[in-house]
Each structure stands twice: as C-alpha cells, then as structure tokens.
Homo-oligomer: A and B are copies of this chain.
Amino acid sequence: MRTKGTQATGEFSLIDLFLSHFPRARVPVGPGDDCAVLAPSKGAQCITTDAVVEDVHFKRAWFSPEDIGHKALAVNLSDLASMGAIPRWFVCALALPRDFPRRELAGIARGMSALAREHTIALVGGNFTSARELSITLTVAGELLPGTAPITRAGGRPGDVLYISGTLGDARLGLQQLLSGVRRSTAILRQKRPVPRVGLGRLAARFVSAGLDVSDGLAQDLGHLCTASRVSAELELERLPLSRAVRAALGTEGALAGGEDYELLLAVPPERTPAFERACLRGEVPVTRIGRLTRGEPGHIRDASGRSLRLPAGFDHFRGGRRIDRSGREG
C-alpha cells in the first residue's frame, strides 16, 4: 500500500490506519512494497475491476462509511460470484478529498474488512491519491477450482431454464426512497449493502450453461446474456420474485429495470434443473425459475404470451441529470 500524489508524511499514517483493519495477508510480499507478490495460482484466475464514486454510486450524506466500504467490495465480489470463482485477493485504490476525516476512512476500512473476512479474501495492496470526490476502485481476483470452467454469458442454449436468485428491484426502490427522504427500510438496506451471491456462484458452476450478475436491471442483463449466447428469451413475468414493497411501488416493469440488484441470473440445461434445484435447496440459496432461452433473434425478449418486452434501460443514479429514458438516451 503506497501513496503517490499524496506524499505528505501524514498520509502514511492514513495508510497504516486503513490497513490496521485488515488481517495480515498470507502472501510472499504484502502491502508496503512496490508490488504485492503472490504465489502462482493453481486454478484459472478470474479478474474484475469496479469503482464506486461519490454522488454516482453513493452519497456520503446517506451512506455510512461502513456502507461505502461494504458496497465497494460487494459489487466486485458479485462479479466473481457470477463466474463461479472463489474469492482470493484484492487491491484497493482510494481517491480521497483533502482533509478526509480519519474516522470516516476507518469506517470504510471496517465495512470493507467485515465483508472481506466473510469471504476470506485478502487485501494485498493498494494506493492512495487525492481527488476532488471520494472514489474507491477495487481489483478483485478469484480462482476457479482446477478443472472447472467459468460461468460466462455466452454458453446459453435454446431450451435452457432461467433462474434468478433472491428478489428483484429492492435496491432500485431503496434508491427511490432515499431520494424521497426516507432513511431506513429493508429496500434501502439492499441499496446500501448488496449481498454478493458467492456461494450460489460456486454451486451453480457445476450446473449452468451461462450466467451473469444482474447489476443493470434484469431486462438489460438478460439482453446481454441472450446477445452473447445468440438466443432469445421468454420471461414469465408473473413468476418474477418481487418483495411486496417492490410490487406495490415499482411493479413488474420497474423491477425489470432494476439496477444494483446483484442477484445471479443463471441458465440451466433442462436435464440438470432437478439436480440444480436440489443443490440450491440444500445450500439454502433461494432461486426462482423465471423463464427460458429460446431460438430467435439474439437478445430479443418476450413474455409468456409472446409479446415483445421493451427493455427499460438503466436506472436513476444519485447524480442529477443522469436519468436515462426508456429509449436509452440520457435525459
């Protein structure tokens, strides 16, 4: 963990403060040198990088530092989950406004560290720099069990059954509630503290033909899966798993537009669905069958009656003016 662009002596103690919340990484060379040094991996490695930026992905007025630290790691772990990978290590690049309070930095570290411990992933290095707004960019690595193929978006085949984990739309509803002045609700917790489906991803890797994590809304992400797999899809809208609050406030279409669900969308060949469902039951991971992949125009999605679904694009972010309309244009 080093500074560049923030060479004041004081900054080094910020680094020590941040690191002190994490267990010492068991690697040949950890934080403190120019690079971390890691032993060769046994299985294939899955790598992802993702950032959370102040006023885009969170507001400091509404998110505790612990929430921010949690979310920064959770969105990355969700990408590992979607490939079926076992979390291994990550590096953390922090951009901090000048005079960022030490107690808030400690809070970010605590939120991140708690989730890291839960998933046994080691912080091996990082970087601090100054910036106008707070942002956290993580690069996270997972490993596939030797001999296991990663879950990708491209393997889906017509006839495969579609499953979604958890419920949809809650994080979007939470965002709307925050914007309207509500400060506490189950949906707001989903917005602030997404739960990466790491266990489900590892379990699913043995059964699925394709999958991804739903971060841009089910409609859009199902479109990505279908495009990559060169198939169409049929969604049974009445089967979508929605909380009562989401059903009342957003309805099916709002839940489809979702955003930041971080649930896994999985395509399972029909002959494997009984074993997959049994494994999910044993693992106590809630999944719901919501449709199937079909032949047809790649990326095209219909409901059970055959009606084309218009894809709602994206979702509202915190920053004013980032609202994206149904045609995909920013408004």
Q: Which residues of A contact B (CB under 8 A)?
A: 4-5, 7-10, 28-29, 32-51, 53, 55-57, 75, 79-80, 82-83, 85, 89, 91-93, 95, 98, 124-127, 129-133, 135, 137, 139, 142, 144, 150, 152-154, 212-213, 215-216, 220, 228, 259, 313-315, 317, 319, 321-322, 324, 328-330
Residue numbers in B under 8 Å from A132 (CB-CB): 55, 132-133
The answer for the CA separation of A137 and B53 in the assembled complex, in Å, is 13
Chain B proximity of A273: nearest CB distance (Å): 23
Residues from chain B with a CB closer than 8 A to the CB of A144 are 37
Q: A9-B313, A49-B91 are in contact. Are A79 and B35 (CB under 8 A)?
A: yes
Count of chain copies: 2
B40 touches A41 (CB 8 A): yes
Q: Are the C-beta atoms of B95 and A53 separated by less than 8 Å?
A: yes
Query: Are A80's CB and B35's CB within 8 A?
Result: yes
The answer on a CB contact under 8 Å between B130 and A56 is yes
Interface contact A38-B45, CB-CB below 8 Å: yes
Contact assessment for A7 and B324 in the assembled complex, using a CB-CB cutoff below 8 Å? yes
Given A37-B144, A44-B40: A51 touches B215 (CB 8 Å cut-off): no
Quick check: A50 and B4 within 8 Å, CB to CB?
yes
Contact call A34/B49, Cβ cutoff below 8 A: no
Q: How far is the CB of A195 from chain B (nearest CB, A)?
A: 16
29 A/B residue pairs, CB under 8 Å, sorted by A:
A4-B50, A4-B215, A4-B216, A8-B314, A8-B328, A8-B329, A9-B313, A9-B329, A34-B48, A34-B82, A34-B153, A35-B48, A35-B80, A37-B45, A38-B45, A38-B47, A40-B42, A40-B45, A41-B45, A48-B125, A49-B92, A49-B139, A53-B129, A53-B131, A98-B321, A98-B322, A127-B137, A130-B319, A130-B322
Q: Within the assembled complex, what's the spacing in Å between the Cα atoms of A39 and B149?
A: 11
CB pair B8 A137 closer than 8 Å? no
CA distance A144 to B28 in the complex (A): 12
A175 to chain B, nearest CB (A): 12
Which residue of chain B is the closest to A151 with respect to CB atoms?
Answer: B34
Chain B contacts for A5, CB-based, 8 A: 51, 53, 56-57, 317
Closest B residue, CB atoms, query A142: B35
A45 to B, closest residue via Cβ:
B38
| Minimum distance in angstroms from A331 CB to a CB of chain B | 10
